[in-house]
Amino acid sequence: MVAKTLYGFEEILAGELRALGAGKVRTGVRCAFFEGDLGFMYKANLNLRTALRVLMPIRDFRIHRPEALYDLIRETDWTRYLTPEMTFVVDTVLQSDLYSHSLFVSQKVKDAIVDQIREKTGGRPSVSVARPDLRIHLHIQGQNAHLSLDSSGDSLHQRGYRTITNKAPLNEVLAAGMLLLSGWRGQCDLLDPMCGSGTLLIEGAMIACNIPAGINRRHFGFQSWRDYDPALFKVIYDASIKKVRDFRFRIQGYDKAPSAIVKARENVKNANLEDYIHLEQTDFFKTEKQSDYPLHLVCNPPYGQRLTVDPVHFYSRVGDTLKQHYPGTVAWFLLGDPEHVKHVGLRASRKIKLYNGSIETRLARFDIYSGSKKAKYQDV
């Protein structure tokens, strides 16, 4: 099978798969390949935090002539997967000179499937873009074609807890990947000082408590498949829930916008995490660290692109606040421009290239020591 992810999360995703028990895990570009049975496919969809989709390959083939696609698609027995009463959709990804438009390819695939089922059964399935019973994925790279069934349905970043968002919401998979790359596992207090609609806080709490990422989803694609086994899925679901653990530290979110806090509270409530996440309407630049214990800070601040800020002034204030008021903190910021790192006025010990949508970003780590850095090493 293939799990799709965002750029930069391939190794994190592979680690998740191994921890869940997948076999023969290896990474690709924005994906990880693995082996598992039907139950593991259910388990992967329910639990993976950094996967966007889980694809089940059904056939690979080569295309020597563009017009051969129709016949090649008909070589698959589609009655194994579809009945005339079901709906489906075809998603095509092109990295080939054979075709210029993915919609044209999807239409050809759709025609071949519908014609075959009509000839075999006398009826025809319908195409539905919104919540189809079967989502078919075709990836054409050069002359090589990879045909898969999308077991996830809607993208797995749609966790089900976020009903209202701010102007520039953070993708849930991006939030989870940021936290895992930062080393967050629930080992201390966590703070998001500009929390927006609360996505980082919610994903952070779910990681700390080992709550399955998809626990709040109402539907996965495989639940509409002909071979769906609800009893097996219940076994997988119950086993995953039994691994949930308690969390003894504090997860705190700040935002100076009252509307953001209202939205965050609603989403935290939807995720059933009100016991773990504390929200406060306040300006980060007027705050200070609330304890002498270690603090893990992760934030997706405004970039100056979709949200208007002056990056030079803004990030220098971020650096000053950290230096003056947040000793003993490991701070991670997703910065919307590689140049923004230098405006913080602190040396970044790590800079990881990621993408937030089409925006190239840097996930930068800043270590704020208690006392001087020299004194820290003398104490070790």
Same domain, yes or no: 41 and 140: yes
What average pLDDT does the chain have?
93
Instruction: For the chain, give the percent of residues with pLDDT over 90.
Output: 89
The verdict on residue 231 lying in a domain is no
Same domain, yes or no: 142 and 195: no
Same domain, yes or no: 142 and 193: no
CATH code, domain with 82: 3.30.2130.30
Same domain, yes or no: 273 and 347: yes
Same domain, yes or no: 281 and 374: yes
Residue type, 373: K
The verdict on residue 216 lying in a domain is no
Domain that holds residue 107: 2-150
Provide mean pLDDT across the span 186-210: 97
Task: Give per-residue pLDDT as tens, 20-49.
Answer: 999 999 999 999 999 999 999 999 999 999
Same domain, yes or no: 54 and 181: no
The pLDDT, as a whole number, for residue 306 is: 47
Same domain, yes or no: 202 and 340: yes
Read off the pLDDT band of 336 (50, 70, 90).
confident
pLDDT higher than 80, residue 245:
yes
Q: Total structural domains in the chain? A: 2
Provide mean pLDDT across the span 121-132: 93
Same domain, yes or no: 52 and 88: yes
Same domain, yes or no: 93 and 125: yes
Same domain, yes or no: 51 and 106: yes
The verdict on residue 236 lying in a domain is no
Same domain, yes or no: 190 and 129: no
pLDDT higher than 50, residue 221:
yes
The pLDDT, as a whole number, for residue 287 is: 97
pLDDT higher than 60, residue 119:
yes
Read off the pLDDT band of 163 (50, 70, 90).
confident
The verdict on residue 19 lying in a domain is yes
SS3 annotation, the chain = CEEECCCCCHHHHHHHHHHHCCEEEEEECCEEEEECCHHHHHHHHHHCCCCCEEEEEEEEEECCCHHHHHHHHHCCCHHHCCCCCCEEEEEEEEECCCCCCHHHHHHHHHHHHHHHHHHHHCCCCEECCCCCCEEEEEEEECCEEEEEEECCCCCCCCCCCCCCCCCCCCCHHHHHHHHHHCCCCCCCEEEECCCCCCHHHHHHHHHHCCCCCCCCCCCCHHHHCCCCCHHHHHHHHHHHHCCCCCCCCCEEEEECCHHHHHHHHHHHHHCCCCCCEEEEECCHHHCCCCCCCCEEEEECCCCCCCCCCCHHHHHHHHHHHHHHHCCCEEEEEEECCCCHHHHCCCCCCEEEEEEECCEEEEEEEEEECCCCHHHHHHHC
